[in-house]
Homo-oligomer: A and B are copies of this chain.
Amino acid sequence: MNKLLKTVLLFSAAISIIPSGTAFADDKLETATTKFVDANGVKFSYRTLGPKAGTPLIFLQHFTGNMDAWDPAVVNALAKNRPVVVFNNRGVGSTNGVVADNITQMTTDAYAFIQALGYKQVDLLGFSLGGFIAQELAAQHPELVRKVILAGTTYQGGGNNLMKVLGEAFSRENVQDPRDYLFFSQSDAGKQAAAAFLSRVYARQAGRDPESGKEIADAHGKALIVWTSTPDPEFKTLKAIQQQVLVVTGSNDTMLPTEGSITLFKEIKNAQLVLYPDSNHGSIFQYHDAFVNTADFFLSH
C-alpha cells in the first residue's frame, strides 16, 4: 500500500476509535477483572470499564444484586464515553463484611468506596434500592456528585410492593430466575426482552460474583421497606438535590410504583423524566438502546 495512504488511513482509524489522551481499561463487564479496595473496614470488590479520562459513572445496585446482576448492554455501552465503575455493597457478592440493613449505612459505605478510589467528582446511576443511595449521596455530597440517573426507584416514604410482587414472582412454577417477572412486562415483547436480558447477565463465565442468599435478602429487604415506609413529607432529601437528574422507569413499575418516579420528577428541581411503554421495574434493560442513547446524552452535555 502507498505509504501516504496508509498513514492517512491509520490516522483516521486512530482518531475515530481512541479519545485523545486516554487509555482503555477493560471494555466488557463480562470479562472485566474484579479488583479490591479497602474502605470503612471493608474490602470492596469492584470492576472498572471504559476510558480512564472523564467523570466516572458509579453504578449503585438493586436489592440483593451483585456486579453480575448489571446488564452488560447498559454498562458496556455507557462505558464507551466515560469510566464506569460497578461494585458490591458491604457483605454482597465478593465484598466482605456484614451486609448492611439500612440505607444510611449503605450510603456511608458507598461514599467511602468512592473516596477510596480517589475520585473528586462522579456521576451516579442508582437502580431501585441503589436509587435511594444515589439520592442520599447527591443530597449529602453536592461537591462529589455531578449528575444522577435514578432508574426504577422512588422517594423516601414512597411505598413499595416488594413482598407482594416477590411472592407472585416465586409462586409460579419452574422459576429459573425471578427477574423475568420482577423487571419486565408480561407482554410478548416483555418476555422476549426478559429472555435476552437473562442471557446477557449470565454471559460471564469466569470469576462470577457469589450469588446472594437469605441473609442478604433479609437485610436488604429491611433496608428497602424501612426507607420507602419512612415519610419525608416535606421532601427534604429531594429538595436538597440541586444536581441534574434523569428519572427513568417503566409504564407499570410493580415493586416501586411508577407514580413515585413522577413525584421524583416533580419534587427535584432539575429533573428530566422518561417513562417507557409496556415495561416494569427494569425498563432500562428492556429498552437498553433507547435508554443508553438518552443517558449518554444526559451525561455528556
Q: Kindly supply a per-residue 1/0 record for chain A positions 259-292, scoring 1 wherever the CB is within 8 Å of any chain B CB and 0 otherwise.
A: 0001001100111111111100000000001100
Contact A275 B277 (CB under 8 A): no
Contact partner, A298, options B270, B278, B290, Cβ 8 Å? B290
> Distance in Å from the Cβ of A97 to the closest Cβ of chain B?
38
Contact A297 B301 (CB under 8 A): no
CB within 8 Å of B: which of A1-57?
A: 2, 4-5, 8-9, 12
Contact partner, A265, options B12, B251, B297, Cβ 8 Å? B251
Complex contacts, A115 vs chain B, CB 8 Å: none
Complex: how many Å from CA A265 to CA B273? 12
Contact B294 A301 (CB under 8 A): no
| In the assembled complex, A293 has its CB within 8 A of some CB on chain B | yes
> Distance in Å from the Cβ of A186 to the closest Cβ of chain B?
15
Complex contacts, A289 vs chain B, CB 8 Å: 297, 301
Contact A275 B272 (CB under 8 A): yes
Complex contacts, A290 vs chain B, CB 8 Å: 272, 297-298, 301
Complex contacts, A244 vs chain B, CB 8 Å: 277
Decide yes or no: A269 and B277 within 8 Å by CB, A8-B8, A289-B301, A290-B301 being known contacts.
yes
Decide yes or no: A272 and B265 within 8 Å by CB, A2-B4, A8-B8 being known contacts.
no
Could you show 22 A-B contacts with beta carbons less than 8 Å apart?
A5-B8, A8-B8, A12-B12, A244-B277, A251-B265, A251-B266, A265-B275, A269-B277, A269-B278, A270-B278, A271-B277, A272-B275, A272-B290, A273-B273, A273-B274, A274-B274, A289-B297, A289-B301, A290-B298, A290-B301, A294-B294, A294-B297
